[in-house]
Structure 1
Amino acid sequence: MSILSCLSVFADGAWHLGTRGPVTLRIAEVINLVTAKNITADLQGRYPWTEEEPLLLTDVSVDVLGGNVLMKQLRMPQHDPALLRLNNLSSSELV
Structure 2
Amino acid sequence: MQAELIDSQERHAMCSCQQHSTAASAAPQTSSDAVSLRVEDMTCGHCAGRIEHAIKGAFPDATVTADPASKLVTVQGGGDFASIGALITAAGYTPGPAPAR
Same structural fold, with TM-score higher than 0.5 when normalized by the shorter chain? no
Specify which structure has the higher proportion of helix. Answer: 2
Higher relative strand content: 1
Q: Greater relative contact order (Cα 8 A, min sep 6): structure 1 or 2? A: 2
Q: TM-score range by the shorter chain?
A: under 0.3
The two structures have a TM-score, normalised by structure 1, of: 0.25
Which TM-score applies when normalising by structure 2? 0.24
- Report which of the two structures shows the higher radius of gyration computed on alpha carbons: 1
